[in-house]
């Protein structure tokens, strides 16, 4: 039985050099810090929990198709829009929350903008008092800021972000 379960515990992710891991952690910390700072200075919400997971992809896996700007921006936008619609039409409904996550996944797949952290957006909207204005602050503005910060950081390293068309 031990051999049959071994594949569940095998690590498929390639080893990351220590320096690269430190750069990724630094980038994520700085990005969240900037969003927090800008939220405070502008008195506008620019941060939501799924952005922590977005930072994992942006700074740790910048070459992933799911880390590309269009995926980050439209993934969060579509998922949040679905979450808002479901809260509007099915307020306080557990089934509405489940359907919104499923619909968000389906739409991201159809539009080829899958961004896994965005799968949490409908839950965030269902469990908060977020309204339509939150599509702009924090969803669109925060997503754009994270993309910009990743681009700026990687301009100073040998890491290419976003991926070029001619990869």
Number of CB atoms found within 10 A of residue 154's CB: 18
Residue with more model confidence, 123 or 9:
123
Mean pLDDT value across residues 74-94: 95
Residue 1 pLDDT class (50, 70, 90 cuts): low
**Residue 14 pLDDT > 80, yes or no?**
yes
How far is residue 130's CA from residue 136's CA, in Å, rounded to a whole number? 11
pLDDT reported for residue 166: 65
Q: What is the pLDDT of residue 23?
A: 93
Q: Which residues contact 1 (CB under 8 A, 6 or more apart)?
A: none
**Confidence check: pLDDT of 83 > 60:** yes
**Burial class for 100, CB neighbours closer than 10 Å (0-12, 13-18, 19+):** buried
pLDDT at 8: 84
Report the chain's mean pLDDT, rounded to a whole number.
94
Q: When comparing pLDDT for 155 and 167, which is higher?
A: 155
- Confidence at residue 158, expressed as pLDDT on a 0 to 100 scale: 85
More confident residue, 12 or 65: 65
Query: What does the H/E/C string look like for 96-140?
Result: HHHHHHHHHHHHHHHCCCCCHHHHHHHHHHHCCCCCHHHHHHHHH
Q: Among residues of the chain, what percentage have pLDDT more than 70?
A: 98
Of residues 164 and 2, which shows the higher confidence score?
A: 164
Share of the chain above pLDDT 90, in %: 84
Would the pLDDT of 150 be above 80? yes
Positive or negative: CA dihedral 46, 57, 126, 133: positive
The pLDDT tens digits of the residues spanning 26-53 come to 999 999 999 999 999 999 999 999 999 9
């Amino acid at each position: 039985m031990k051999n049959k379960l071994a594949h569940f515990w095998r690590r498929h992710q390639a080893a990351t050099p220590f320096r690269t891991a430190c750069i990724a952690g630094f980038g994520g910390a700085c990005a969240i810090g900037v969003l927090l700072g800008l939220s405070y200075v502008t008195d506008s919400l620019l941060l939501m929990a799924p952005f922590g997971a977005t930072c994992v992809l942006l700074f740790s896996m910048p070459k992933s198709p799911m880390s590309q700007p269009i995926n980050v921006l439209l993934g969060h936008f579509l998922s949040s829009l679905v979450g808002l619609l479901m809260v509007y039409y099915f307020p306080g409904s557990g089934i509405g929350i489940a359907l919104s996550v499923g619909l968000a996944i389906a739409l991201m797949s159809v539009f080829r903008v899958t961004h896994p952290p965005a799968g949490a957006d409908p839950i965030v909207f269902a469990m908060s008092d977020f309204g339509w204005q939150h599509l702009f602050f924090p969803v669109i503005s925060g997503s754009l800021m994270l993309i910009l910060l990743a681009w700026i950081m990687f301009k100073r390293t040998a890491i290419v972000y976003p991926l070029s068309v001619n990869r």
